[in-house]
Amino acid sequence: MLDKRVLTDTKIYQEFNDTDREYWFDFKKNKFLHNIDTFYYSVKLLEDFTDDTKDAAVLKLRQFFDKKKSLLASRHGESVPVYFPGCDRSLNLRSGVFAGFFNVCLENPEWFDIFIAPVVPHGSDGGLSVTCEIVVQIRSYMLWMYGVHESFERSYSFVEQICNSFGLHIAYCQENRIDYCWHSNYLSNPEKFFAPENFYKMRVDRFKDALMHTAKVGSEGYEIDYVAMGKRSDKVFIRIYLKSKEVIEKNYKPWFFKVWLFNGLINRYDLYCYEECYKKHSWEYLDTARLKYYSEYGTDQKLQKQCRAVVEGQVTMSPDMLHKLADALTPKVNLIMNVEYQTMRKHSKTYQLVPFRDNSSKLTAQRIYDYLDNRKIIADYLTQYVFRMVKPDGDVNKSRRDLCAFWSALRSCRMVDVNVRTKDVKLIRQYCRKLNSEIMKKRVINAAITLGIYTRGINQDTVVQDCVEALCQLNDNDIHDAFRYKKKKARQFNASELAETYVSSDTHEYQVVNINTGELLTDIIP
């Protein structure tokens, strides 16, 4: 959370009127946003999937996917579309193995993956297997856009249709891994809060140690951007890390920026700075992004000129001086921390679930609905008895101390099924497409310029000439390969998320013309 006093002392805040201040810097203080960020569930079938099975439905499934995987191999790893009756779209069969023997992977891009094991090991007594034959991973995007209930129902309907296609029958499904996360702007100084001498006074848990990662800031400063307890293979694995930095450095999930904005974790100024860093694929660009903001919206022309010179690379400054100037002109951005509990099946199978409602009508999916009904109780247990943070001083017995303010606020967060309004989902889609397309456009232009230098040497051609020359160098093979790549790439995206175009139709009103012959250079159909 940004300190109001720090905000009012900045040059840009003093220059703005009340309307501009509210527009750019308004946000909800001490805000927490909870959701299930990762959801794996497994499905047990009634049929015998062991290696010596004689079940006709299982043999039919193996034969079907053996043919599809042969086609996949002939395409050198390109995904193969597979349609099952009753599904509203095809799934992509792609290469990959999950947990050793789930070697059939069906993908609904950006939404979920379905892993199928054509062969499972015998039970410990040599009899029928107790291993689930299907595992489904629901992706983060789907969980945040549509909520955990709708996401599960959509993915499970595909599982049911796949089973129906081969005459297979579902015995039950159960949770496999669920990650509980809390995004927050509460901490303005994470390095102080998580400093080892402070953190170890506050933590109450049974983990033996903690892994911390620090990053250099300036010449002498540092930031703590990652704290972890346990191992990923443990029953529970806990991570507390700088989520806004992860999105920028990994250069994925930019839709989080809009989710945070809609829910009041960041303001429009934060969004501007995060977008600029995302385009540059650099967290270290943050101070420069703040100067760029002042160069566009400040009123002191001398300072604007100085900021533009830094942004355009005409003037270089040390990291310390750059940070000092950015702090004088603009506010610090609101940092988004993520507190995440990764819970595995070997932990959740011991839960005694409370029957809040009768879910018997859900049939094979009853366990999932019972589990989700207990979500509040489970989260309370995790944040109280597995790991919690208390005040750094007080009772000698640390476990008897009151919770620190940060942890009290986290536990008070509303436990609702987060989903985005339909109209906002469309806005987020367009936002992500626009942001990512700007990055790709810059790459294409830079590549065309580099190609021009390779082919024509150091030249004085315009950027437009470089782009046109790059197009004119395409031959039949280039067009054919590009067309194959386009089809391959199209299968990697979700058609529902890219159903409409956001650019104007003017983009299709231009063609390349040979200025000597007047010939139109059109695409060669492969």
Q: Is-contact 377 351, C-beta < 8 A? A: no
Among 35-49, 65-79, 203-217, which stretch is predicted with the lowest mean pLDDT?
65-79
Q: Which residues pair with 242 in a beta bridge?
A: 337
Calculate ∠ Cα 317-322-327, nearest 5°. Answer: 160
For the chain, the first-to-last Cα distance in angstroms comes to: 56
If we measure between CA atoms, which residue out of 322, 352, 389, 394 comes closest to residue 187? 389
With vertex at residue 485, the alpha carbon angle to CA 483 and CA 490, rounded to the nearest 5 degrees, is 100
For the segment 437-452, the average pLDDT, to the nearest whole number, is: 72
Mean pLDDT of 410-414: 93
Q: How far apart are CA 408 and CA 30, in angstroms?
A: 11
For residue 470, what pLDDT band results from cuts at 50, 70 and 90?
A: low
pLDDT tens digits along 220-257: 888 899 999 999 989 999 999 999 999 999 998 999 99
Structure tokens given for 336? 């988004």
Q: Does the pLDDT of residue 476 top 70, yes or no? A: no
Nearest to 415 by CA among 375, 355, 372: 375
Are 248 and 278 in contact by the 8 Å Cβ rule? The answer is yes
Confidence band for 525, pLDDT divided at 50, 70 and 90: very low
How confident is residue 526, by pLDDT bands cut at 50, 70 and 90? very low
Whether the pLDDT of residue 42 is over 70: the answer is yes
* Alpha-carbon torsion, ordered 378, 262, 112, 170, to 10 deg: 50
Average pLDDT score over residue span 520-526: 53
Task: Give the integer Cα–Cα distance in Å for 66 and 70.
Answer: 6
The confidence band for 10, taking pLDDT boundaries of 50, 70 and 90, is: very high
Lowest mean pLDDT among 37-41, 195-199, 215-219, 261-265: 215-219
**Is the Cα torsion angle 38, 408, 388, 352 positive or negative in sign?**
negative
Structure confidence at residue 483 as a pLDDT band (50, 70, 90)? low
Pick 431 or 392 by higher pLDDT: 392
Q: Structure tokens of 15?
A: 């220059």
Cβ atoms of 413 and 379 within 8 Å: the answer is: no
Measure the CA–CA gap between 296 and 307, rounded to whole angstroms: 9
Q: 3-state DSSP: the chain helix, strand, coil percent, rounded to 5?
A: 45, 20, 35
Identify the residue with better confidence: 459 or 320: 320
Q: How confident is the model at residue 460 (pLDDT cuts 50, 70, 90)?
A: confident
With a CB cutoff of 8 Å and minimum separation 6, the contacts of 241 are 225, 226, 227, 228, 337, 338, 340
Residue pair 194/159 in contact by the 8 Å Cβ criterion: no
Tokens 């003037």 sit on residue: 315
Alpha carbon distance 248, 493 (integer Å): 21
pLDDT of 524 reads 45
Read off the pLDDT of residues 486-512 as tens digits, 9 standing for 90 and up.
Answer: 666 666 566 565 655 555 555 556 666
Average pLDDT (262-288) is: 95
Say if CB 66 and CB 208 are below 8 A apart: no
Q: CB under 8 Å to 394, separation ≥6 — which residues?
A: 401, 402
Cβ density class 430-440: b for 16+ within 10 Å, e for less: ebbbebeeeee
Mean per-residue pLDDT of the chain: 87
- Per the CB < 8 A criterion, the answer to whether 312 and 248 are in contact is no
Give φ, ψ of 24 to 5 degrees: -85, -35
pLDDT of residue 244: 97
DSSP letter (8 states) at residue 205? E
Task: Sketch the domain layout of the chain as residue ranges.
Answer: 4-27+185-337, 36-178, 422-521
- The HSE-up count of residue 455 (CA atoms within 13 Å, CB side) is 15
Distance of alpha carbon 4 from alpha carbon 2, whole angstroms: 6
Output the pLDDT for position 347. 94
Lowest mean pLDDT among 147-156, 233-242, 262-271, 454-463: 454-463
Instruction: Compute how many other C-beta atoms are within 10 angstroms of the C-beta atom of residue 73.
Output: 11
Using the Cα atoms of residue 74, residue 77, residue 81 and residue 84 in order, give the sign of their dihedral.
positive
Tell me the pLDDT tens digit for each residue of 83-130: 999 998 999 998 888 777 899 999 999 899 999 999 999 888 877 888
The model's pLDDT over 283-325, given as tens digits with 9 standing for 90+, comes to 999 999 999 999 999 999 999 999 999 999 999 999 999 999 9
Where does the pLDDT of residue 1 fall: very low under 50, low under 70, confident under 90, or very high at 90 and above? low
